[in-house]
Amino acid sequence: MTRVAIVEGDGIGHEVIPVARNALELLHPEYEYFPVDVGYGRWEVTGCPCADNDILELKTADVVLFGAVTTPPMKDYQSVVLRLRKALDLYANLRPVKGNGFDIMIVRENTEGLYSGIEEFTPDRATTLRVVTREGAERIVRKAIQLAKERKGHLTVGHKANVLKSDVLFRDICLAEAKAAGLPCSEKFIDALSLDVLQHPKAYDVVVTTNIFGDILSDVASYLVGGLGLVPSANIGDRYALFEPVHGSAPDIAGKNIANPIAALRSAAMLINYLGDAHGGEQIESAIQQVLVHGIRTRDLGGSTGTKEFGEAVIQALDRVKDIR
């Protein structure tokens, strides 16, 4: 039996993830769904945001649907997201940005770079070590090459090799792997790339880059489709997979029934596509589009519909189309 771990996390995760879970349960009632509680809210109660037993429980799942978590600016607080990525070795972060006439897949290295977790604090200086390894660069670009071959067949490498020696290694490995695979490949400095993606999105297919650059670039690219509330992501490793909205926990709007659940729904679509049901993923997207066409929108998209009500409308639309094969 397919086991799906549900992690609502913090903030608006408690509002948008239940909507996505409802969609999954409608399409696949045969899956086993079970909750795992991690995040800042868990830390406030127990003093531990993510225990070893939580990691072990997540490892029993075939896939994880993950909401946003809050990471407070405290030097002794360990990021739950970074811990999960390392513990499950989720080295490839895939962030699709798809709109009118363009379809971009941003492939972000997910376990090293500036999110290496190797840091040092003194009263007068804080240092974070940026780590780029040959193994890390090779496996992320090979994943990007695989995706590019399944899509339009072009790869772009985003880097800052004119300033960072670690990016010289990353760029050279990416270009060499693409050449060996016979895949057309170009390169751009990440700052110029961020602008050009907005100006000429149709020119891009698969973009591969390092950890923090991919984080920033995908947030920038979300402007093309209406903002962070609409963009999903997948965190993929050789054994485990975790799917989550790109947006954060948004504590300023949590509990107000105004968050947009589309990114969570699209993350659920990526999840079942990963499990082999591409048609189900398409049905979730079709249901979302039907609701939007009828003018039902959350506040960030200019509407007045609440999170719960928008989710109910999508589930109703999905129920109408789910048996159409």
Sorted by where each begins, the domain ranges of the chain are 1-90+237-325, 91-234
**Helix H or strand E segment including 100:** none
Distance, in Å, from the CA atom of 140 to the CA atom of 282, rounded to the nearest integer, reads: 26
pLDDT tens by residue, 81-107 = 889 999 999 999 999 999 999 999 999
Residue 88 is predicted with a pLDDT of 96
pLDDT tens by residue, 194-227 = 999 999 999 999 999 999 999 999 999 999 999 9
Of the candidates 110, 133, 129, the residue with the CA atom closest to the CA atom of residue 119 = 129
pLDDT tens by residue, 253-301 = 999 999 999 999 999 999 999 999 999 999 999 999 999 999 999 999 9
91-234 placed in CATH 3.40.50.1260: no
Distance, in Å, from the CA atom of 288 to the CA atom of 246, rounded to the nearest integer, reads: 17
Domains 1-90+237-325 and 91-234 fall in the same CATH topology:
yes
> Bridge partners of 243?
65, 234
User: Residue range 136-160: average pLDDT?
Assistant: 97
Here the tokens at position 70 are: 């809050």
What sign does the dihedral 283-140-196-81 (CA atoms) show? positive
Residue 182 has pLDDT above 70, yes or no: yes
Contacting residues for 227 by C-beta, under 8 A, at least 6 apart: 260, 300
Residue 325 has pLDDT above 70, yes or no: no
Residue 177 is predicted with a pLDDT of 98
108 three-state secondary structure? strand
Q: Tell me the fold of 1-90+237-325.
A: Isopropylmalate Dehydrogenase (3.40.718)
Residue 321 has pLDDT above 90, yes or no: no
304 three-state secondary structure? coil
Provide the whole-model pTM.
0.93
Phi-psi bin for 190: left (phi > 0), alpha (psi -120 to 50), beta?
Answer: alpha
Q: At what angle do helices 278-293 and 307-321 cross, to 10 degrees?
A: 120
Residue 313 has pLDDT above 70, yes or no: yes
Distance, in Å, from the CA atom of 107 to the CA atom of 116, rounded to the nearest integer, reads: 17
